[in-house]
């Protein structure tokens, strides 16, 4: 029987630890499969998805900046349609079907750290595919969401699909006022992602100690935003590792219909990060 093939598409893609995570998971459950990383420019995402289907690839993850563009080339399950972005594709049924597990992953991480999300005030940096997914799940869970984006019009468009949300720009004055009234700050942008470790949209002087600061970037594990949070005396800081693990575990179950070995997946990611840095 031929080896099963899965993978991830994005641009850039060399930073991704999804191959290490999923290949460790396949080994742990004894599945004869391999997970590969493919660099795909934005204008070629449709060709990449069609090519993956033709080649017999059984599942793909989709990362920055393809999560919204890929939506046009797959059938989508209901939640992904509402979000307007996908991060997972399965090909088992013949027609590529898109899912979004980003929101599930982030909500699980936050519930483990914060507890009940209902009534919390959350500021999300960015308005791309990951922001859409996280905002959708937080809004559904009863949080009040603010989207801050360089292009305020894009943020306004995102919040128009939510029940209890508003939009601001990334101007320092607007950020300061919003953070002051926020319980949780989440970075969904690629700012501070390897190799730009010294970049951040929010500095320590804008934070308060009771803020929960969550950066979904996992490479590096301690981003500039999280270092600034420590400087500000923030008590609860969340790196991006467990969101990567939880969203990956949800994708794994969609593709294989097997329970994902979450502990193995987390260990593989943290081991890869410790080797890289």
pLDDT digits (tens, 9 = 90+) for 11-30: 999 989 999 999 999 999 99
Q: At what angle do helices 18-29 and 262-276 cross, to 10 degrees?
A: 140
pTM of the full predicted structure?
A: 0.93
Question: How many CA within 13 A on the CB side of residue 196?
Answer: 11
Q: At what angle do helices 18-29 and 241-256 cross, to 10 degrees?
A: 50
| 134 CB neighbour count, 10 Å cutoff | 28
Burial class (CB within 10 angstroms; exposed 0-12, middle 13-18, buried 19+) of 272: middle
- Domains and their CATH numbers in the chain: 4-100+242-276 (3.40.50.10860), 103-239 (3.40.50.720)
* Residue 257 Cα to chain centre, angstroms: 22
Which pLDDT does position 276 carry in this prediction? Answer: 58
The answer to whether residue 50 is catalytic is no
Angstrom distance (rounded) from CA 81 to CA 248: 19
Question: How many CA within 13 A on the CB side of residue 56?
Answer: 6
- Asked whether the predicted pLDDT for residue 86 surpasses 90, the reply is yes
Hey, what are 14's tokens? 């060399």
Which pLDDT does position 193 carry in this prediction? Answer: 86
Catalytic one among 67, 69, 120, 132? 67
8 Å CB contact between 219 and 15: yes
Q: At what angle do helices 152-159 and 129-140 cross, to 10 degrees?
A: 40
Angstrom distance (rounded) from CA 179 to CA 187: 12
- Asked whether the predicted pLDDT for residue 277 surpasses 60, the reply is no
Hey, what are 29's tokens? 């459950």
pLDDT digits (tens, 9 = 90+) for 163-186: 999 999 999 899 999 999 999 999
Taking the alpha carbons of 30, 33, 34, 35 in that order, is the dihedral positive or negative?
negative
């Amino acid at each position: 029987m031929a080896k099963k093939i899965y993978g991830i598409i994005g641009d850039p893609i060399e930073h991704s630890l999804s191959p290490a995570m999923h290949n460790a998971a396949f080994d742990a459950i004894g599945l004869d499969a391999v997970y590969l990383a493919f660099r795909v420019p934005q204008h070629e995402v449709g060709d990449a998805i069609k090519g993956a289907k033709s080649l017999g690839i059984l599942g793909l993850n989709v990362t920055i900046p393809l999560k919204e563009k890929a939506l046009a080339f797959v059938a989508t399950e209901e939640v992904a349609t509402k979000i307007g972005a996908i991060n997972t594709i399965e090909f088992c049924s013949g027609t590529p079907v898109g899912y979004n597990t980003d929101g599930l992953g982030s909500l699980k991480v936050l519930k483990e750290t914060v507890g009940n999300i209902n009534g919390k005030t959350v500021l999300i940096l960015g308005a791309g595919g990951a922001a859409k997914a996280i905002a959708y799940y937080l809004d559904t869970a009863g949080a009040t969401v603010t989207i801050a984006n360089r292009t305020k019009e894009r943020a306004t468009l995102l919040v128009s699909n939510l029940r209890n949300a508003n939009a601001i720009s990334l101007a320092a004055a607007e950020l300061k006022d919003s953070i002051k009234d926020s319980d949780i700050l989440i970075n969904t942008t690629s700012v501070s992602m390897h190799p730009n470790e010294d970049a951040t949209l929010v500095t320590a002087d804008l934070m308060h100690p009771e803020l929960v600061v969550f950066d979904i970037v996992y490479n590096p594990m301690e981003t500039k935003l999280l270092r600034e949070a420590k400087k500000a005396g923030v008590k609860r800081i969340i790196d991006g590792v467990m969101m990567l693990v939880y969203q990956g575990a949800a994708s794994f179950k969609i593709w294989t219909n097997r329970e994902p070995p979450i502990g193995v997946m987390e260990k593989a990611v943290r081991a890869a990060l410790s080797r890289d840095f």
